[in-house]
Every structure is written in C-alpha cells, then in structure tokens.
C-alpha cells in the first residue's frame, strides 16, 4: 500500500482484495491510470498488457457508483452477498491506518457505507444471504432428476 501511495501521481489510495477481486481506489492525476497499472504489474510480476486485457477502470462519478455497487453486493457473484461490505470496511481501515486516505476517499467511503446501509435496510438485499455453494446445489438439483443419488465435489479458495 505504501508503495502505491508513494507514486507521485497518487495522492490517496485504498486496496480491496478478496477471493473474487482486487480493486484499487485512487485519487490521481491524469497520468495516474498508467502509473497504477505499471505498479500493479510490478507488484504481481505481470506484464501491463496482460493486466490491461482483464482490468477495468472507472473515473469520477462512475468510480463512486461502482464502489457503491460493490458495497451493496450488486457486483458480487451472488447478489447481495453480505461479506463484501465487511471486506470493504477492512480495506478502508487499512488505508486509514497506513495514511492512504485523504479527504476525497474518506468522504467517498463514509458516503458509500451510509448508502450501503440504507440500501440493505430499505430493499432487504442480502436479508437471506445465499452462498455460491448454496447456489451450486440449487442449480444441480434442477439439472439432475434424483440429486440425492449424485455425488459432487466443490472446491473453493474462499474462506467460510
């Protein structure tokens, strides 16, 4: 985190890293996108052109909208997945402790947490959380006539 924040193009930074995503939230100048890609490539020992093929980026209001979608669970493998908000709060705390946050990201994260709470309360999204494993079993039971006689192996890299 400190190396990312120490880039001259970056004034604020937070890193969200989960089993399904790694996202960098940065306040930067116009050359910042390339600087962040170069840093990420060095950090993971990947070529920048490889990263560019699978990376996405958002600017300004689109970046704020994306962060809010992530916090609410709209951008998760399972709609409304509740763990992402906790992971985002952890990323926020780590960024605060490492002095990665300034006024812009601080306000954005605080607003995002308030919006996520409101959306979860008013819509009930995540009220009956469903795991990827539960979704897999549900799908398999629709595919196989007699699922009770079937055997399956589910391997995951996430935490329980």
Examine the residue annotation and report whether 19 is marked as an active-site residue of this protein: yes
Domain count within the chain: 1
Distance CA 100, CA 27 (A): 10
C-alpha closest to that of 39 among 14, 63, 5? 5
Tokens (6 digits) for 141: 């039971």
Give the predicted TM-score (pTM) of the model.
Answer: 0.78
Q: What CATH number does residue 57 fall under? A: 3.30.460.30
Read off the pLDDT of residues 93-139 as tens digits, 9 standing for 90 and up.
Answer: 999 999 999 999 999 999 999 999 999 889 888 776 566 667 777 77
More confident residue, 3 or 65: 65
Read off the pLDDT of residues 44-63 as tens digits, 9 standing for 90 and up.
Answer: 899 999 988 888 999 999 99
* Active-site residue (options: 8, 19, 118, 144): 19
Distance CA 102, CA 38 (A): 23
DSSP 8-state class, residue 17: E
Range of the domain at 45: 2-149
């Amino acid at each position: 985190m400190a190396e990312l924040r120490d880039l001259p193009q970056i004034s604020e930074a937070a890193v969200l890293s989960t089993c399904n995503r790694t996202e960098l939230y940065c306040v930067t100048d116009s050359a910042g996108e390339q600087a962040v890609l170069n840093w990420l490539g060095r950090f993971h020992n990947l070529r920048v052109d490889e990263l560019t093929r699978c990376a996405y980026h958002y600017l300004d209001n689109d970046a704020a909208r994306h962060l809010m979608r992530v916090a609410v669970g709209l951008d998760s493998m399972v709609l409304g997945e509740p763990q992402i908000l906790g992971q985002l709060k952890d990323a926020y705390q780590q960024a605060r402790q490492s002095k990665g946050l300034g006024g812009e990201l601080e306000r954005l994260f605080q607003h995002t947490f308030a919006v996520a709470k409101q959306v979860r309360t008013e819509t009930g999204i995540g009220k009956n959380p469903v795991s990827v494993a539960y979704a897999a079993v549900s799908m398999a039971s629709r595919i196989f006539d007699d699922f009770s006689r079937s055997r399956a192996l589910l391997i995951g890299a996430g935490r329980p």
